[in-house]
A and B are shown apart, each in its own frame.
Chain A
Amino acid sequence: MSEILGVPVTVLSGQLLLGVINGAFYALLSLGLAVIFGLLKIINFAHGAMYMLGAMATVVLFDNLGVNYWVALFVAPIMVGALGVLIEYFLLRRIGGQDHIYSLLLTFGVALMIQGILTNIYGVSGLRYSMPDVFKGGMNLGFMFLPYYRAWVIVMALLVCFGTWFMIEKTKLGSYLRAGTEDAQLMQGFGINVPLLISLTYGFGVMLAAFAGVLAAPIYSVTPVMGSHILIVVFAVVVIGGMGSISGAIITGILMGIIEGLTKTFYPQASSAVIFLVMVIVLLIRPSGLFGKEA
Chain B
Amino acid sequence: MSEPISHADIQKTMLQQQKAEQRKKQLLNLVLLVLLLAAPAVLYPVFLMKILCFALFAVAFNLLLGFTGLLSFGHAAFLASGAYTTGYLLSTYPGLSTEMGILAGTAAATVLGFCFAVVAIRRQGIYFAMITLALAQLVFFFFVQSEFTGGEDGLHGVPRGYLFGFIDLSNNLAMYYFVLAVFLGGYLLVQRIVGSPFGQVLKAIKQNEARTVSLGYNVNLYKLLAFVMSAGLAGLAGSVKTVVFQLASLGDAQWHTSGEVILMTLLGGTGTLLGPVIGAAFVVNLEYQLSQGPLGDWVDAILGAIFILTVIAFRSGIVGEVQKFMRKNLG
Contacts and interface: CB of A to CB of B under 8 A. Distances in A.
Interface of A: 42-43, 91, 94-95, 98, 100-102, 104-106, 108-117, 119-120, 228, 232-233, 235-236, 238-239, 269, 272-273, 276-277, 279-280, 283-284, 287
Contact of B122 (A98, A109, A287): A287
A239 B308 contact: no
Contact of A43 (B122, B129, B142, B307): B129
A144 B2 CA distance: 95
Contact of A113 (B123, B255, B308, B312): B308
Could you tell me the dominant secondary structure of chain B's interface residues?
helix
Contacts of B129: 43, 101, 104
B138 interface: yes
Contacts of A277: 138
A98 B300 contact: no
B307 A42 contact: no
Given A91-B312, A276-B138, A108 B123 contact: no
B119 A43 contact: no
Contacts of B304: 109-116
Nearest to B295: A120
Nearest to A236: B134
B303 interface: yes
A244 B253 CA distance: 31
Nearest to A224: B300
Interface string B107-142: 000000000000110110111011101110110011
A120 B130 contact: no
B301 A105 contact: no
Contact of A112 (B135, B137, B142, B307): B307
Interface string B266-282: 10000000000000000
A106 B300 contact: no
A233 B119 CA distance: 17
Dominant SS at the A interface? helix
A204 B298 CA distance: 30
B308 A238 contact: no
Contact of B311 (A102, A115, A120): A102
A192 B238 CA distance: 52
A93 to B, nearest CB: 10
Given A239-B127, A273-B142, A120 B255 contact: no
19 contacts: A42-B126, A43-B129, A98-B315, A100-B126, A101-B125, A104-B126, A105-B266, A108-B307, A111-B304, A112-B300, A112-B307, A116-B303, A232-B255, A235-B133, A236-B134, A236-B137, A239-B123, A276-B138, A283-B120
Nearest to A243: B127
B315 A43 contact: no
B182 to A, nearest CB: 29
Interface centre among B131, B310, B315 (most CB of A within 10 A): B131
A69 to B, nearest CB: 29
Given A43-B126, A269-B145, A273-B142, A279 B131 contact: yes
Contacts of A43: 126, 129-130
A294 B296 CA distance: 46
Contacts of A105: 71, 262, 266, 307, 311
B164 to A, nearest CB: 39
A100 B298 CA distance: 28
B303 to A, nearest CB: 6
